Amino acid sequence: MANEITSLTATELNDKLQNREISATEVAKAYLNAIESKNDSLGAYLTTHPDITLQTAEEAQKLIDAGDAPLFAGVPIAVKDNISTKGIKTTCASKLLENYEPVFDATVIKRIKKNGMVMLGKTNLDEFAMGASNETSAFFPAKNPWDLTRSPGGSSGGSAAAVAGNLAPLAFGSDTGGSIRQPASFCGITGFKPSYGRCSRYGLIAYGSSLDQIGPFAKCVEDAAKVAHIVTGHDHKEDTSQPLPPIDYTKIKDGSLKGLKFAIPSELYETNAIEDGVKTCFKNMLDNLQKAGATIDVVHIPTIELGVSTYYVIATAEASSNLARFDGIRFGSTVQSDGHVNQVAATRGKLFGREVKERIMMGTYVLSADSFEAYYIKAQKIRAVMVGEMDGVLDKYNAIISPASPVTAFKIGEKNNDPVAMKIIDLCTIPANMGGYPAISLPCGFSNGLPLGMQIMTKRLDDEKALEIAYSIEREFNLKFSPEERK
Ligand code: GLN
């Protein structure tokens, strides 16, 4: 039964819980056992707190027993370790925050608690969410459940590995340039980045504030839509939160693909940056979509080619400012000065990893008086042009589609010495962050035995449409895989 529990979707678990076929405690125990036996090899979780998990499960069961329990009461979820959890360590996978315990919960955490969902623990990530492989974690890299020698993607690699490896039915990630969708693609699961402003960032430790968004990983689109429903909706504590109701999962119907119009930017398909196996797999998906009655046009969005370089100017500029607070005084552990540098420099120099320091330096440089016009302002102009081009395409099409990643899961260590190759991986995902569009990565096939996601991006704030298209595609082609079934 325990194995069976951990392979269920969140909706299936919810139904069994509400029908009293299983109890919230049984579910929590099944997951805690799975974590105990598999986390050493997967490296998905940085922190677990079995006592709290079991206690919340008991409280959830009381809600269920009282009748009328909210959606997903008793359903477990894993949380990326850059989302603040009151009294539970939130490290950002950094030595600097190794012992940091927030004194408040992020809004998404408050909302899942209100629904009686059960937190399993905090998941691994690239340090401060900077990376695409989970290898910049200061502690250990998470591994891909499809092949333990490969990366689960990043930065939310621990969350993706937890869901694909049956160590959680759901997980939160954060996505600044692709950190939900790329790991979802690498791990063969669904990853959803809501529109900017749909999901409160209150309590998310900021990386690039104009790009960051929290979103779910799930085993299917329905689960992602339901958890999005629970956590989205206006939050007065967050200035960029849209005054809109939560994403309405009941509006998401299994629609026909007939008549849907999709655009594929040639810059994300007909380019050498996309691996051949990925192209073949995606082409197969396009043929299937056409057979199902969708129209597909290849379009040009020329500025997408500048997306990665533009992103690395804007994201690092914002990061250099956001990370200023981690100085060992306001936040973080402290390293005593050795007399050569002051205490703040000693702390930041010693406790930030190399990737984080490089980005802070780059961000500080592009914001400096001499470079501001040439880099930062120029990047903002390109961003505006890019968004204009994408808005134009989305006015004519139901969605922009592409592979979610130009590559499938690579070997751990393979790209460590090639920072450009590591950054190009975000080619397909960055455009959605630039424009604040909702975007989903949905498993669409395999290349060399490794899963690949297709990305569906719709108009800003039309999250329901993105989810509905993904749901219809998932249903039409039966797109749910699990590493265990394929072994
Ligand atoms: N790989 C990208 C980066 O390192 C995106 C990370 C993210 O979305 N958090 O910036």
pLDDT above 90: percentage of residues in the chain? 91
Ligand 1 lined by 432 (C-beta under 6 Å): no
The model's confidence at residue 186, banded by pLDDT at 50, 70 and 90, is very high
Residue 141 shares a structural domain with residue 226: yes
3-state secondary structure of 416: coil
- Phi, psi torsion values for 166, nearest 5 degrees: 60, 35
Ligand 1 lined by 130 (C-beta under 6 Å): yes
Residue 235 shares a structural domain with residue 137: yes
**For position 487, what pLDDT does the model report?**
47
Q: How far is the CA of 207 from the centre of ligand 1 (A)?
A: 9
- Residue in 135, 159, 176, 182 to alter for ligand 1 test, most ligand atoms within 8 A of Cβ: 176
Distance in angstroms (rounded) separating the CA atoms of residues 76 and 112 = 10
**For position 333, what pLDDT does the model report?**
85
Residue 233 shares a structural domain with residue 330: no
Residue 421 shares a structural domain with residue 368: no
- Mean per-residue pLDDT, 459-470: 97
Amino acid at 327: D
Residue 413 resides in a domain:
yes
**Buried b or exposed e, range 196-213, using 16+ CB within 10 angstroms:** bbbbbbbbbbbbbbbbbb
3-state secondary structure of 69: coil
Ligand 1 lined by 131 (C-beta under 6 Å): yes
H-state helical runs in 300-399: 307-322, 343-351, 354-367, 378-396
The model's confidence at residue 151, banded by pLDDT at 50, 70 and 90, is very high
| Mean pLDDT of the residues in the chain | 96
323 DSSP 8-state letter: G
- Mean per-residue pLDDT, 190-212: 98
Ligand 1 lined by 132 (C-beta under 6 Å): yes
Tell which atom from ligand 1 comes closest to the C-alpha of 156. 9
Q: How far is CA 71 from CA 12, 176, 326, in A?
A: 12, 28, 37
Ligand 1 lined by 134 (C-beta under 6 Å): no
Residue 268 resides in a domain:
no
- Residue in 126, 186, 211, 320 to alter for ligand 1 test, most ligand atoms within 8 A of Cβ: 126
Residue 143 shares a structural domain with residue 193: yes
pTM of the model: 0.97
CB 486 within 8 A of CB 164: no
For the packed helices 24-42 and 50-65, what is the interaxial angle rounded to 10 degrees? 150
Count the neighbouring beta carbons within 10 Å of the beta carbon of residue 117.
Answer: 27
Beta carbons within 8 Å of 103's beta carbon, 6+ residues apart: 86, 87
Ligand 1 lined by 129 (C-beta under 6 Å): yes
Residue 391 resides in a domain:
no
Residue 210 resides in a domain:
yes
Q: How far is the CA of 426 from the centre of ligand 1 (A)?
A: 7
Q: Kind and range of the H or E element at 172?
A: strand 170-174
Residue 197 shares a structural domain with residue 331: no
Distance in angstroms (rounded) separating the CA atoms of residues 281 and 402 = 11
pLDDT over threshold 70, residue 2 = no
pLDDT tens digits, 402-447: 999 999 999 999 998 898 999 999 999 999 999 999 999 999 999 9
Straight-line distance from the first to the last Cα atom of the chain, in angstroms, rounded to the nearest whole number:
20
- Residue in 207, 358, 359, 425 to alter for ligand 1 test, most ligand atoms within 8 A of Cβ: 207
Residue 137 shares a structural domain with residue 49: yes
Ligand 1 lined by 176 (C-beta under 6 Å): yes
pLDDT tens digits, 35-82: 999 999 999 999 999 999 999 999 999 999 999 899 999 999 999 999
Atom 10, ligand 1: which residue's CA is nearest? 130
pLDDT over threshold 60, residue 398 = yes
Question: CATH number for the domain including 172?
Answer: 3.90.1300.10
Q: How far is the CA of 434 from the centre of ligand 1 (A)?
A: 13
Residue 239 resides in a domain:
yes
pLDDT tens digits, 75-130: 999 999 999 999 999 999 999 999 999 999 999 999 999 999 999 999 999 999 99
Q: How far is the CA of 193 from the centre of ligand 1 (A)?
A: 13
Ligand 1 lined by 207 (C-beta under 6 Å): yes
For the record, the structure tokens of 133 come out as 């492989």
Residue 205 resides in a domain:
yes
Residue 235 resides in a domain:
yes
Ligand 1 lined by 435 (C-beta under 6 Å): no
Q: How many domains does the chain have?
A: 2
Q: How far is the CA of 129 from the centre of ligand 1 (A)?
A: 6
Residue 119 shares a structural domain with residue 87: yes
Residue 448 shares a structural domain with residue 328: no
Residue 434 resides in a domain:
yes
- Residue in 136, 155, 156 to alter for ligand 1 test, most ligand atoms within 8 A of Cβ: 155
**For position 3, what pLDDT does the model report?**
67
Q: Is 396 exposed, middle or buried (0-12, 13-18, 19+ CB in 10 A)?
A: exposed
Residue 185 shares a structural domain with residue 224: yes
Ligand 1 lined by 135 (C-beta under 6 Å): no
Q: How far is the CA of 21 from the centre of ligand 1 (A)?
A: 41
Residue 341 shares a structural domain with residue 221: no
- Mean per-residue pLDDT, 10-33: 98
Residue 61 shares a structural domain with residue 135: yes
Residue 405: asked if its preceding bond is cis (omega within 30°), the reply is no
Q: Look up the domain containing 181 and give its range.
A: 2-258+401-486
